Each structure stands twice: as C-alpha cells, then as structure tokens.
Amino acid sequence: MMLEKLLRILADGAFHSGSELGRSLSISRSAVWKHMQRLQELGVEVYSVKGRGYRIPGGLDLLELSRLQQLLPEAVRTRLGQLALSIETDSTNTQALAAMQNGVDTGLFAAEFQHAGRGRRGRQWISPLGSSLCFSLAWRFNSGAAALEGLSLAVGLALQQALARVGLTSVGLKWPNDLLVNDAKLGGILIELSGDAAGECQVAIGVGLNVQLPETVAEQLDQPCIDLTRLGYAGTRTDLLAGLVSELIEMLERFENSGFAPLRSAWEEANAFRGREVALSSGPRRYEGVCLGVTDQGGLRLQTSAGQEVFHGGEMSVRLQ
C-alpha cells in the first residue's frame, strides 16, 4: 500500500523532496529512502538529487482501477467477476488459477510487476515495473482440454484485433501465440490449465505485452523485441487494457460457442510467417518447411520434404531460417 502511494506521487515525473514524501506518507525520511531502494529493485529508475529530492524521469503511467471500470462496457464488467489490479505479485497467472481454486468464476488480474512472471517453455517473463502490460483472465471451459487447442490462437487474434482498433495495424501472429511486428516480439500469451481434462477446465489466459521496454532489458532478451511506445502508441495503459480485455471476452464467448474453425481465416490473414520458410522444434526434434497456415483445430500446417504435415501442441517454436 505504501509503495503504491509513493508510486502514485512520483508518477508525475516531478521532483519530490524526502521530507515532502515523508509527510505525505507519514513515514520518516530514512523510510522514504528504503522505499526508493525497493522501487529500484522492481526496475523503476529513480533519480535522486541532493537538495531537490527524488523523481522518476519521464514519470509513470500506472493502471487506474476506476478508469478501467468506467471504460469496460457493462456486459464485459458483468461477465468479469473479479477485477484485481496490483502493484506487485508473483504471477498474475498464479493469481488467476488460485482464485478459481477458491471458487471465483471469471476474473481479471493485472499487475505492475511480477516477481515470478512465467513465459512459455519454462522461461521467465521479465519486465520492470510498469514497462509492459501483464494480465491474466480467469475463465472456465466445460468442453474438456482437447477442445482448447485453438484457444491460444483465438486469444492472439483478439489481441491483434484490439491493437488494430487503436491504430496498430502492423501486428502479426506467430503460431501458436506470439505477437510480432517485423519479426520482433511485441507480446506473448501463456495459457495454463487445471481441472478435469475431459470436463470443466479452469484456464488462466496470461498476456504480456511490451509497452516501454528499457534498452538494458531488451538487450538481455534472447530475441529481437519491440514495444508499443516505439510503434507510436500514445494512449494510456489503462485504456489499452480495457480495449484488450473487452475484445478478449467477446472472443472467448465466440470460441466457447463455435470453437476455432470460424476464426481460422482471420488468423491466417494475420499469420506473420505465411508462405515463409520456417524451422519448428518440438522437444529434441526439428522440422523444416514452408508455413502454410493452420487447421480448423489450430494445428500448424507445414509443407515439408515429406509432404503436408500438421503439428499440434504448445511446446513448439517457429523460427525464421
């Protein structure tokens, strides 16, 4: 709570003296200093100048719960049971799964910072506080795990469409679920399931989208990355989150009713690797071929030297040759 108050004061990017901050938060100046250290641990760049105080250069665009509630259409708000925005958490996917274990039906969990953000294939998802949008939707499906094969593709498509609505029309999709711009990664999706493989599944749909990645972080990543600020997005993260969540909920309802097949042609339109030579690795195996598109279930179709082959499952990665 204290950290959040401090962040909201510093979010304006102006200088605030230690004594002013201490007064506003009813803590000592040395406690203010300790909080500043903590902010730096979470990846926030804090300038401290003797005699003037502390400032966050460029300020911070923090998520605003009341604005989010205003922006979400009524139907979406009612469909979304729980709505939780936090400054820090372990992983919003963990939050979503835990909430469902505790009886929550549907919900949105977003955080400014994740201590244990997860990416696909056991990777970490690293992003300094406020530099990306990290959120998870908790959702229950009744049709068994097998019917969810196309889900990550449907989610990618919803995000791509929501971004196009705010003018970001150059976003493409990489099977099974990355968002790319000119082959650089803008975001990723991590879907985690628990429950009954043949019946009701509780699904955490986790989305990480780069908003303003510091150069130092981008350099550490294992592939080229891009963020929304570099693409010219000038709106707030809250507005963006509202647009993404609205589009996602609508998409999840469509997917529940009719599966992936009716979405296939739209997905193929957005396929960033269509007609290109790709290499696909699945565990120790590697396949090469031309990316043809996807099946009605969401499997990847490749033209390999053995003919047309279809690949399933979320543990594969596609790389340009």
* Of residues 52 and 319, the one with the C-beta less far from ligand BTN: 319
Residue 287 as a binder of ligand BTN (CB under 6 A): the answer is no
Which positions from 129 through 148 interact with ligand BTN, judged by CB under 6 A? Answer: 134-136
Residue 125 as a binder of ligand BTN (CB under 6 A): the answer is yes
Q: Would residue 77 show up in a list of annotated catalytic residues for this protein?
A: no
Q: How far is the CB of 75 from ligand BTN (least distance, A)?
A: 24
Which positions from 207 through 266 interact with ligand BTN, judged by CB under 6 A? Answer: 207-208
Angle between helices 18-25 and 29-41 (to 10 degrees): 100
In SS3 terms, 102-159 reads as CCCCCEEEEEEEECCCECCCCCECCCCCCCEEEEEEEEEECCCHHHHCCHHHHHHHHH
Catalytic annotation, pick one of 120, 174, 237, 264: 120
Is residue 88 within a helix (H) or strand (E), and if so which, with residue range? strand 82-89
* Contact with ligand BTN (CB under 6 A) among 36, 158, 171, 190: 190
Q: Would residue 120 show up in a list of annotated catalytic residues for this protein?
A: yes
Q: How far apart are CA 319 and CA 321, in angstroms?
A: 6
Q: How far apart are CA 91 and CA 83, in angstroms?
A: 15
Per DSSP, what are the bridge partners of residue 49? 53
Q: How far apart are CA 20 and CA 32, in angstroms?
A: 10
Look-up: residue for tokens 């971004």?
163
Q: Would residue 185 show up in a list of annotated catalytic residues for this protein?
A: yes
Residue 115 as a binder of ligand BTN (CB under 6 A): the answer is no
Tokens of 308: 């047309």
> Considering only 6-14, 54-62, 111-119, 222-230, which stretch makes contact with ligand BTN by CB under 6 A?
111-119
Query: How many residues are present in the chain?
Result: 321
* Of residues 53 and 208, the one with the C-beta less far from ligand BTN: 208
* Contact with ligand BTN (CB under 6 A) among 71, 84, 113, 114: 114
* Of residues 118 and 237, the one with the C-beta less far from ligand BTN: 118
Residues with active-site annotation? 120, 185, 319
Q: Where on the chain is the footprint of ligand BTN (CB under 6 A)?
A: 91-93, 114, 117-120, 123, 125, 134-136, 178, 188-190, 206-208
